[in-house]
Chains A and B, each alone.
Chain A
């Protein structure tokens, strides 16, 4: 199956600093990637849809100036958490939509990045 990687797998940063998380599709090109966040014992919440070569589409309630998304190439999307605060501590997961499958869309997920803001 398709492989999606994330880097780093975990990061600790101080309040007020910015953190960049990378999401890569390793063996396929992904024109669309998705960013989710997951709080402990909760389900995944979609934050934004990242489209290669265009601006990301953010879900309602997600601050686009705080969570900067850049889909610079067909295999890489980045999420930058700017001026991080403790409430931004969460598990961030990306997914990539595979380009095959006709009208059905399979998404493969990265292993996630655990962000802790102190």
Chain B
């Protein structure tokens, strides 16, 4: 089965600072999803990456999938308190399948003033 490891497990950054969260897979990633979760709430879809070398951005968040499709990074520029939460990467099955997701261990982000 596919395993996803995220690093760091938790992160405390000062407002305005940049940060990066990594997600490493034990197998080739056919679809890599990034979600954000606030404690006790559901998941908010951020981005999905499929192709090796692909990079997507939304507002101040950029996600990349490496060429080998086994590692993804999520970069937040000029962090704000609203970025605080738990970031989860999820891996889907092969293309064309029902794509049930396996989730990473999660990264808990706190942004201090």
Contact = CB atoms under 8 A, between A and B. Distances in A.
A92 to B, nearest CB: 11
A46 B91 CA distance: 12
Contact of B31 (A95, A105, A108): A105
A77 interface: no
| A32, A49, A109, A111, most chain B CB atoms within 10 A | A109
Given A1-B45, A43-B88, A107-B45, A112 B40 contact: yes
Contacts of A112: 40-42
B7 interface: no
B75 to A, nearest CB: 21
A93 interface: yes
A93 B99 CA distance: 17
Interface of B: 31, 33, 35, 40-45, 48, 50, 88, 92, 95-96, 98-106
Interface of A: 1, 4, 6, 32, 34, 42-46, 49, 91, 93, 95, 97, 103-112, 114
Given A43-B105, A44-B43, A112-B42, 14 more contacts: A4-B42, A43-B103, A43-B104, A45-B103, A104-B50, A104-B95, A105-B31, A105-B98, A106-B45, A107-B33, A109-B43, A109-B44, A109-B45, A114-B40
